[in-house]
Amino acid sequence: MQGSRADRHAADGGPTGPAASWLGGPPALSPRDFARLSAFIEGRCGIRMPPSKRTLLESRLGRRVRELGLAGFGEYCEHVLGGAAGDEVVRMVDHVTTNKTDFFREPHHFELLARDVLPALAAERGAGTRRPLRLWSAGCSTGEEPYTLAMVLLEAGRQAAGLRFGILATDLSTRVLERARGAEYTEAQVRPVPLALRRRYLLRSVRDPQVVRVCQRVRELVALEQLNLLDPDYRLRDRMDVIFCRNVFIYFERSVQERVLLQFARVLSPGGFLFLGHAESIAGLEVPFDAVAPTVYRRREGG
């Protein structure tokens, strides 16, 4: 049986057995196996995997192939794509997704949120006053963005007593969500947080003086959940008032961007706001949003 697997993989241009797979470095990813995996990843996650990403995918998944004790990528494809390894699909996604974020990244967005968006939503919709304001950090990675939102809104609440809000934070990767739940960061990672907010909302770890933890008051305002933006139904109980989805669309084809934006329009209240990343745009897409500032959009009434 072992020989038949090796022969099958050799015909695909890969290693001829476990020993050949590991000697001299990680297993080689053949063009055929790359095509199979990249098509699966794009269909499942929307993440583009052009041929230029072959080396990246080989590097990121090679370790996983070794951990599973498989003969090579051909056997890994059978293991994952056969449908019997649901848990492994999640682990694969964890390995291939890029999760780069910072506290107060693109700070003008948070300034606009506090200065213009919150007053507009309160006046027009009663969001934050007559009912809780609902925000969604889509593609939250390791939590810096939703915790930044919580601190910004708590500060706004110091000026407008009675501000009520909740934040949903989602990501496809279970690995980064676990880190977000831990809410622990290095001194370097929290450096973008203004000093007054650091003193108010961050705590020094008793175990490691170089580690800082977000305080419980902030953590309790953020609900962390796994969600795939390509799902046909996001299963949200209430419509959102604000969606932050920054530096996620750069990985999607235009058709996938439009599909996700239409989903956002369904779950965003009329007049709600959408924040995208600095390199992202909805120009040329048939979606019910109007630009109100660079990379900031508002859902059309009745759209």
Catalytic residues: 60, 171
Q: What single DSSP character describes residue 127? A: B
249 in Cβ contact with 257 (< 8 Å): yes
CB 75 within 8 A of CB 119: no
Task: Please answer whether residues 293 and 112 qualify as being in contact, where contact means their C-beta atoms are separated by less than 8 angstroms.
Answer: yes
For 11, the token pair is 């015909």
Q: Tell me which residue has tokens 């810096």.
A: 144
The distance in angstroms from the start CA to the end CA of the chain is 59
Cβ neighbours for 76, distance < 8 A, ≥ 6 positions apart: 33, 61, 64, 65, 68, 70
Could you say which DSSP state residue 117 is in?
Answer: I
From 225, 234, 1, 191, select the one nearest 103 (Cα to Cα). 191
Residue type, 258: E
CB-facing half-sphere around the CA of 270: CA atoms within 13 A: 5
133 forms bridges with which residues in the sheet?
A: 165
> What is the C-alpha to C-alpha distance for residues 87 and 81, in angstroms, rounded to an integer?
12
Taken in order 179, 180, 185, 190, the sign of the CA dihedral is positive
- Which segments of 100-143 does DSSP mark as H helices, in order? 107-112, 118-125
